[in-house]
Amino acid sequence: MRRPCSQRRAVDEAREAHDAGARRRALGLVAAVLAASCSRGGGGEQDAAPAGAAGRAPASSGAGAGQVQRRAPAAVKELEVRKLSPGAAVTIDGRLDEPAWQAAARTGPFVNVGTGREDPSLPTQGEARLLWDDGFLYVGFDVSDATITGGFPQDARDPHLWERDTVEVMIDPDGDGDNKDYYEIQISPQNLVFDSRFDDYNAPRGGPSGPFGHQGWSAGLTSAVTLRGTIDDGSDQDRGYVVEAKIPWRAFAKAKAAPPSPGDAWRMNFYAMQNNGGAAWSPILGEGNFHRARRFGRVRFAGAGGEAGGAGAPARDAGPAPAGADARDAGSAPSTALPGATSAAGERPGAAAPSAPTGPKPGYRADPPDR
Ligand SMILES: [Ca+2]
Ligand SMILES: [Ca+2]
Ligand SMILES: [Ca+2]
């Protein structure tokens, strides 16, 4: 259902900002987002969650909403991801030093989720690389973070990693971005995993403390992390961490076709997070929280030589699900734990996590928040 641009909605939401500075930033930002939406003919939103003051105002916010509007990147990001060449291999060891990673598709620096622009003031920043083959989706993150935090029990299942530092992968297969049957995967500097499956936007949800989605789902992924710094040690200056993971296609049992074929496009987003906020590949621009699939970028799968790739190529419909696809048991996927690496395969609901840091709502988080 489309809803018209509403200046009143923008003002009402900006009024809710809890201090005058935030209110000014919110007004400017929301007006810019709405103006960009109106300039597309008043559309661009379907079943929109309340737009909010997501993200800090850009450094140039003093120049006024008009200038912000001209630079607002409303289009979702797109990325062509080539298949691993025959004979090429990726070793999941937390180092992106394989030749395949050097040639892999890169998202470029993540941006402020509210403005769509790079924002050096964000406490964490990152970039992701992607590869694929017939068995796996490979994801590599390089995250900048001056204070690496963790503190979860090392045997925790589906800990609430978003309360500290983590990377996040959101995947809505099939390319339509409709939030039906999408997946959330987080991997932390401790190499702990939170993974869950959702039927619809943020649903099901058990309550303020969860569970969040079908947490019993396991991606059956393999991951490794290397640190440029130390976790929970304030005596030194951290630089960040690297996450390397491979996710088996069979985990995506709700996808119409997995693995994809060259030419298929899936919707994905990538985040570097801290305290339930963070930087994103494709910005949300106030259209909801980090789960808003229509704001996820488009990942187009191409062959090793670029077959069926190209920004101008139409995305191929992945087609109907193969018979018996729903019977695939992602939870039983083998989970290979490398030395020093952990991969979630648990079916238990979320384990107790340390309490989240308290304080003012960070300006770089999605609004309404994911949790
Ligand atoms: Ca590696
Ligand atoms: Ca941090
Ligand atoms: Ca899980």
pLDDT of residue 369: 56
DSSP 278-309: EEESS--TTSSSTT-GGGSEEEEEE-TT-TT-
Give the tokens for residue 222: 């393999």
pLDDT of residue 174: 87
Same domain, 43 and 104: no
Which region, left, alpha or beta, applies to residue 319 given φ > 0 means left and ψ of -120 to 50 means alpha?
left
Ligand 3 mean position, distance from CA 158 (Å): 5
pLDDT of residue 170: 98
71 has pLDDT over 80? no
Average pLDDT, the chain: 75
Ligand 2 mean position, distance from CA 165 (Å): 5
Ligand 2 mean position, distance from CA 150 (Å): 9
- 317 assigned to some structural domain: yes
Same domain, 17 and 160: no
Tell me which ligand sits closest to the C-alpha of residue 188. 2
Classify residue 214 by its DSSP letter. Answer: B
Same domain, 156 and 201: yes
pLDDT of residue 73: 57
Ligand 3 mean position, distance from CA 169 (Å): 13
What distance in Å separates the CA atoms of residue 250 and residue 135, rounded to the nearest whole number? 8
Same domain, 141 and 242: yes
Domain count, the chain: 2
Same domain, 189 and 322: yes
* pLDDT, tens digit (0-9, with 9 covering 90-100), for 46-58: 333 332 223 322 3
Query: Band of the pLDDT at 74, cuts 50, 70, 90?
Result: confident
316 has pLDDT over 90? no
Instruction: Report the percent of the chain where pLDDT is more than 70.
Output: 64
Higher-confidence residue of 223 and 354: namely 223
With contact defined as beta carbons under 8 Å apart, do 166 and 187 qualify? yes
Ligand 2 mean position, distance from CA 114 (Å): 19
Same domain, 84 and 36: no
Mean pLDDT along residues 120-129: 97
159 has pLDDT over 90? yes
- DSSP bridge pairs for 227: 241
Mean pLDDT along residues 290-295: 97
* Residue range(s) defining the domain that contains residue 259: 78-332
pLDDT of residue 365: 53
